[in-house]
Amino acid sequence: MIYIYYTELKLNGTAFIRGLVFNVTSAANATLPNFDDLAEASPLLVKLSNGSLMMVWDGVPIGHYNLSNLTVLLQASVLHGNTWGPVVNLTKSGDTMSYASDGKYIYLVYEPKLSLTYNNTVLEELTPTGAVVEALRIPLVLGITGAWNGSVVVQFLNGTYALVNMNTGAVEPIYASIAGYSSDLLYYFYNGKLTVVNGTQRLTISLPIYAYASPVAWSHGLVIIAWRPGLLSVFNWNGTALQPIRNYTTAFTIVPRATIIDNTLYLAWLALENITNGHGTIYMAIQPLPHPSNQSTTTTTTTNTTTTSSASTSTSISTGATTTATTTTSSSTSSVTKPTTSSMTNSANPSQSALPTWAAAAVAVIVVLVLIAALLMIKRRKP
């Protein structure tokens, strides 16, 4: 089963979370937590260390706001069977900007007061109940692209990346056009080369014609997602060479997400058509992966939708491992079967088949979408 939760915006600026559950290609509405705020956005589905599924999201509590006093809390709910538990506030004040989880902790970047200058950003490590384990004041952090076992990949306002050690506070620059974690796999892409780090092992794959690339762990090697303006490609790395699987023609600016379940790749991407207002189309492709010993013909099922309002700052992918590192029980991304919007913030989780978020085509896109979300979320009012 694949659980999909996403932010939907209507033309009047109302922001709220929707959900779908997929059984292969059949979709039904997913159950939702009992939201009771002015606005909710940026859902992230996390499989906790005890096996439970928890959703975390941005929530704007009831009140009257402008950009000088806007409060955006990090909220959460745990799924029990088919019913979500009570909504809890993991933070009590400030403005949540981006977050990720490795299943044990939640990693959060926030501003004590919204400024849009990011001069006072704080990076925190929280327990699933919201207790603060570590807090580091690191200015100009725009978002989190992945986290694992106390190591957090952050992106700064100028588009650069760094690896932050929550235990020591060390900040190590990463020279990359994109960087993050895919479960416990640290990756970064720079100058046509994708580097994947697994403990002390380091793998470098040459992809010279692409602008970005990221890995997804698979039982038969790695699946590599690579893209550039107009082209999105899927490869299998079998340990010695890249094997092409599928190419997709895309819009100029895209943000892809991917996960693997039972040797099937679920690939979704947001194709931005208007960066200023976030209008775009979300596509989802379900691609059987060829077994190395049996290169059979593959088929693809694609669904798409066109957005009808500005994008918010949330798209999340989340998967959970079961008995092996490549078998998953849940995932979340921003593929939909009706008009929606989604944006790119944070996502990471304990499965090796998850692709972290914030793989944005340009930092300028992210900055615009963050501002749009802040402006739109404060428009929503309850009677």
Residue 126: which domain range? 2-377
How deeply is 93 buried, as exposed, middle or buried, from its count of CB atoms within 10 A (0-12, 13-18, 19+)?
A: exposed
Q: Is residue 383 part of a domain?
A: no
Provide the number of structural domains found in the chain. 1
Q: What is the pLDDT of residues 179-223, one digit of tens each?
A: 999 989 999 999 999 999 998 999 999 999 999 999 998 888 899
Q: Is residue 93 part of a domain?
A: yes
- C-alpha–C-alpha distance, residues 179 and 263, integer Å: 25
Q: Is residue 174 part of a domain?
A: yes
pLDDT at 177 over 90: yes
| Predicted local confidence at residue 162, as pLDDT | 98
How deeply is 240 buried, as exposed, middle or buried, from its count of CB atoms within 10 A (0-12, 13-18, 19+)?
A: exposed
| Predicted local confidence at residue 277, as pLDDT | 65
| Predicted local confidence at residue 238, as pLDDT | 86
CATH of the domain at 109: 2.130.10
Q: Is residue 177 part of a domain?
A: yes
Q: What is the pLDDT of residues 238-269, one digit of tens each?
A: 888 999 999 999 888 888 989 898 889 989 88
Q: What is the pLDDT of residues 18-47, one digit of tens each?
A: 888 877 778 889 999 999 888 899 999 999
Q: With cut-offs at 50, 70 and 90, classify the pLDDT of residue 292.
A: low
In DSSP terms, 172 is beta-bridged to 163
